[in-house]
Amino acid sequence: MAQHTDAEAAPAVGLTLTFGELQRRLDDFLTEYLKEKSKETVGTYRRSLHEFERWHVTQKGRFRFTTDGVRAYKKYLMETRELSQVSVSTYLTALRRFCQYLVDIGLIPDNPAQAVKGNRRPSAHSRQVLTEKDIAVLLKAVEGSSQIDCRDLAMVYTMLYAGLSEIEIIRADVQDLEQTLMGWYLRVQGKGHTVKDQQVPIDPPVMEKIRIYLDTRGRIRPEDPLFVSHGHRSEGERLNTRSVRSRINGHLKKAGIKRPGVSPHSLTHTAALIWLNDGMSLQEVKNRMRHGTLDTTMIYFKKQGLLKRDPSELKEMG
């Protein structure tokens, strides 16, 4: 009699869906299950579940709707994507609601996401920014004469001193740089926008680093990406958010300032503190950071003292 191993004998645990099946279920969830909700609420769920959809593809059929499967997704959000605690909680809430839909239509018996809690809403100091000492050692760690060094330093400057995010950096083209009587500006397409409808001031120190980098590339067309890859196989191709994040994280580690709460996004948030400490008005900082309300800018106003703190103090806070 043939013998079966435990793995062969044990039934599969948890629902598994092909990518096509997942897409159909997500569409039904958003259009039918949430049809009584507002467009804004449905939009939030749609954006949040898009992240799960993208991750599901990378699992190549291994993901199952179990508590362990949801925990693996949460780990991805925290460690690979390095999302804020609020974002992780938002994405898990959306997945939890989608799982409840699967329960309600009879595809799974229990909600596997119910036991996987979101992170606590961050305290005033948990989303860390860089201090003046951090900035000094970071800039020293990035400095170099190679083409990649010049590119990375220009990217760090656009984040720290122009407040650009990763997505705005990779979407930028050379022709988006515009010189006016008031100085240089960069037209950007921010998160959630479909066109480049916002202008970001590019102060002289930032423009200088961008010029130095562009000079290393020789002849450039206006439609070329502002920042490109310089790898052997990808020379000249537009960078993606993963490559920007990887490069900046590498420099943070090299500088010895990579600590809990500090990520490439910390550079963008630090820009607001730098401007406030330089005496820029709240309204101007609000405009530069593209904040929806002055209340958001006030959060940075209350944190501006962190720029002068010793990094060791912030480690204890984290």
81-93 pLDDT per residue, tens: 888 788 888 999 9
Cβ contacts of 158 within 8 Å, gap of 6 or more: 164, 169, 186, 202, 206, 209, 210
Is pLDDT at 3 greater than 50 in this prediction? no
Is 223:174 a contact under the CB 8 Å cutoff?
yes
- Where in the chain are all domains bearing CATH 1.10.443.10? 132-317
Write down the pLDDT at residue 311: 61
Is 196:189 a contact under the CB 8 Å cutoff?
yes
160 pLDDT band, cuts 50/70/90, is very high
Which CATH superfamily includes the segment(s) 132-317? Intergrase catalytic core (1.10.443.10)
pLDDT (tens digit, 9 = 90+) per residue, 91-110?
999 999 999 999 999 999 99
Which two tokens mark 226? 């502002």
296 or 151, which is more confident: 151
Q: Tell me the C-alpha distance between 217 and 237, whole Å.
A: 12
List 201's β-bridge partners, or say none. 185
Is pLDDT at 253 greater than 80 in this prediction? yes
CA atoms within 13 A on the CB side of 126: 9
305 or 55, which is more confident: 55
Q: Which of 175, 185, 82, 189 is nearest to 128 (CA)?
A: 82
Write down the pLDDT at residue 110: 92
127 pLDDT band, cuts 50/70/90, is low
Write down the pLDDT at residue 82: 82
DSSP labels for 28-67?
A: HIIIIITTTS-HHHHHHHHHHHHHHHHHHHHTTT---BSH
**Ranked by mean pLDDT, which of 36-45, 122-131, 164-173 comes out on top?**
164-173
Write down the pLDDT at residue 152: 98
Is pLDDT at 49 greater than 50 in this prediction? yes
Write down the pLDDT at residue 10: 37
Q: Tell me the C-alpha distance between 175 and 67, whole Å.
A: 48
pTM across the whole model: 0.62
Write down the pLDDT at residue 190: 67
